[in-house]
Amino acid sequence: MTEQDVNKLLAKLPQLKQEIGKVIVGQQEVLDEVLVALLAGGHALLEGVPGLAKTLLVRTLAQATDLPFRRIQFTPDLMPTDILGTEVLEEDHGTGHRSFKFNEGPIFASLVLADEINRTPPKTQAALLEAMQEGHVTYAGQEHALPKPFFLLATQNPIEQSGTYPLPEAQLDRFLLYVRIGYPTEQEEMAVLSGTTGSARPVVNPVLGGEDVRQLQQLTRQVSISQELLSFVNRLVRATRPATSEVPFIKEYGRWGAGPRAGQALILCAKARALLQGRFAATLEDIRTLAPAVLRHRVLLNFNAEAENLTPDDAVTALLKAIQV
């Protein structure tokens, strides 16, 4: 890619945010984190109470990126084949020969919304593991490649636990970011009320195509990061492990720390955030800003922490204070 191609590509990112902003009011931090996950080539888990436009955000992103989009509504009776696909017996009417043909499921799309992922049993949740990690699906011993780019956005509701199946830690670790969506501000909520209860419907124009996303993901990995920041990320992740950590909060309340995948995720996300802001070098601010979304689902606290209403976000705050560049 020439410098002109790169600049032309980067100029589309503000346009992308502008198009999504036609529908999604506020939630800039959430939108940035979702786009960071897309540029970094990972997947994101969105958590928020009902009515905060989680599904609408993903649908609008699909319209603005012009990527093949599929939505999977997770329910207790959903089976793995409902997601991955299944083989059917077909007969050639000319020869009478019968053969099995694989019919692709809804997972075969560039942008997949796994809506309310915690409402389906672990057997069906686990069907996503290979697709998320390897980029392909294995059925009857045959590998079926998923489209590139492949971006999975899952949503879950944190307040209702009846009839839900919490995601196991091994699957949570497959998500690059764990994004929490909060309530809008008073001004934002007024804008939502006035803009969504009338007859006008905003038109979202596609800005990025599949090839643009692939080039941006390659460009993200070329963003530079200093050895000092690499060392900082390494020490930050290692400090999450209670057995070797020197951070008092982790030694007292930590039960399990993050693995090397957390460091890889934090570096890639910092590079993606830098690119999203038009920079070709990651900074300490990028790392500090994204550390909660990268680490909150990879740091497990003990029962003492739960008794004192402490959360993984509190652990990340303590870590960022204790570990210096």
| Residue 215 in domain | no
Residues 188 and 63 in one domain: yes
The confidence score (pLDDT) of residue 162 equals 63
The confidence score (pLDDT) of residue 56 equals 85
Mean pLDDT confidence for 290-295: 93
The confidence score (pLDDT) of residue 98 equals 77
| Residue 218 in domain | no
How many distinct structural domains can be found in the chain? 2
Query: What is the domain-level CATH number for residue 262?
Result: 1.10.8.80
Domain extent for 261: 223-324
**Is residue 160's pLDDT more than 70?**
no
| Residue 213 in domain | no
Residues 184 and 236 in one domain: no
Contacts of 283 (CB under 8 A, 6+ apart): 229, 270, 274
pLDDT in tens, 231-260: 999 999 999 999 888 889 999 998 988 889
**Is residue 171's pLDDT more than 70?**
yes
The confidence score (pLDDT) of residue 239 equals 93
Residues 259 and 137 in one domain: no
**Is residue 95's pLDDT more than 80?**
no
Residues 180 and 75 in one domain: yes
Residues 138 and 60 in one domain: yes
Contacts of 85 (CB under 8 A, 6+ apart): 102, 103, 104, 105, 107, 108, 137, 139, 144
| Residue 20 in domain | yes
Residue 321: pLDDT band by 50, 70, 90 thresholds?
Answer: very high
Residues 251 and 186 in one domain: no
Residues 171 and 302 in one domain: no
Mean pLDDT confidence for 84-101: 78
Residues 192 and 233 in one domain: no
Residue 219: pLDDT band by 50, 70, 90 thresholds?
Answer: very high
Residues 116 and 256 in one domain: no
**Is residue 161's pLDDT more than 70?**
no
**Is residue 125's pLDDT more than 70?**
yes
**Is residue 71's pLDDT more than 70?**
yes
Residues 23 and 97 in one domain: yes
**Is residue 72's pLDDT more than 80?**
yes
Residue at which a domain ends, from 197, 212, 238: 197
Choice among 41-45, 134-138, 173-177, 225-229 with the minimum mean pLDDT: 134-138
Residue 285: pLDDT band by 50, 70, 90 thresholds?
Answer: very high
| Residue 205 in domain | no
Higher pLDDT, 72 or 22: 72
Residue at which a domain ends, from 181, 197, 213: 197
| Residue 41 in domain | yes
Residues 180 and 114 in one domain: yes
In whole angstroms, how large is the CA radius of gyration of the chain? Answer: 21
Residues 172 and 281 in one domain: no
Query: What is the domain-level CATH number for residue 148?
Result: 3.40.50.300
| Residue 30 in domain | yes
pLDDT in tens, 175-188: 999 998 888 888 88
The confidence score (pLDDT) of residue 232 equals 94
